Chains A and B, each alone.
Chain A
């Protein structure tokens, strides 16, 4: 329609009308593009909000991982205390319990990720988060070095050395009855039984307990191992705390 009018106006040399038609097209395209951009930005913000809702399960997973891992290491610490007591000559600790405790104290569990889940969320999305109280902790969570939370961080000399002293057959028996188990409902996480009430071969445990006592350096290595675990749990606490702040803010925004 405009083109037909413009042609007619050009033929009749109605320059005012030509100028107005030209302005209509320029102004129309400009306003139309502006409206599209505004709409696009609105869609992107809505998409970011949707993505934020979608990361909630991952945030919950971090918090649950932290709680489960604290529980896991509380269990290994309990076994470590039994092992220390045996190394200190406590007669209440049987050879059977000593061997089991020395092994279980060396069990480790970590995150198993090479890059943060947040890398998948994307830094470009982060820029679309308007709320400072969400964006800042989310950025800290995204920048967290998750490799520091991998099981490598707690793989110690104690773990290697104690497994050289305890024979493979006993290690297998302990692992079979009391080793890592997938957490019910979450195959990505592991749990360790709080107690290990199995009876190993008495002759073997007597011999191995004597071997463990003969390697008194293992008690020092276990102290170092536990210090490493504490340090690991501190890092994990920081990570989980950031996750908790993000989750609380997301919940507040959802209400």
Chain B
């Protein structure tokens, strides 16, 4: 009897309406989900653009870091020239200038952080959303670059160690106190004074000690070749920062 009533009731239903209602629900759910996905995609694209714009301060900071590294190493290079002249016994270079230059030529500076900032700000998933290859390519290179190549460890050469074994500690401290590293760029970088006009009382003894070690001349030449490699690496990173900066200029 129940089966008969059920059959009767089923026969009374308007199956066309039921089919239409089913299709309406399916389409409704599908459209609802699609709109939700589209909205999420739009929000993600907007976030990616915002992140690109927010990269600008980091780009400025990195650019300043690169410039400060270049300036710093150019100054140590000039001290190296004076030191070479001192070893050649150039009469224009006093003993004090020679000792100061030999020490200052061993000063080194590079990136202390591992440079992963790019990757931290801008994850791989964000990068994948960038459709413009003019933005994506330099950003990807900056994200994957080996920043240890710009680390100050790279200049921890034999010269740096050996010259500091020869110059007496009190003179090294005097040079560092008067002409050592100083903070620049609001504490985000280091600078080195281009000249160091201080009086060193017992400079002649230190200069004699340095001249007794002519192998330091070769070691300083090798140290300078490391610096030249640093310049090349700085140029490579700067070129990518500039390329990225030009590419995202229209987003600001």
Name A residues whose Cβ lies closer than 8 Å to a Cβ of B: 1-2, 14, 16-17, 20-21, 24-25, 27-29, 31-33, 35-36, 39-40, 43, 51, 54, 57-58, 111-117, 119-122, 125, 147, 150-151, 160-161, 163-169, 171-172, 175, 179-180, 182, 187-188, 190
Contacts and interface: CB of A to CB of B under 8 A. Distances in A.
Interface of B is mostly: helix
A28 B22 contact: yes
B236 A187 contact: yes
Contacts of A172: 224, 228
A154 to B, nearest CB: 12
A84 B38 CA distance: 66
Nearest to A56: B133
A17 B15 CA distance: 11
A179 B225 CA distance: 11
A31 B26 contact: yes
A113 to B, nearest CB: 5
Interface residues of B, number: 54
Contacts of A111: 146
Interface stretch (B181-189, B201-209, B212-220): B212-220
Contact of B128 (A51, A116, A161, A180): A51
B161 interface: no
B136 interface: yes
8 contacts: A24-B21, A28-B24, A40-B37, A51-B128, A114-B144, A172-B228, A187-B240, A188-B141
B120 interface: no
A168 B146 contact: no
Interface in B76-135: 80, 84, 124-125, 127-128, 133
A171 B218 CA distance: 11
A14 B228 CA distance: 89
B128 A125 contact: yes
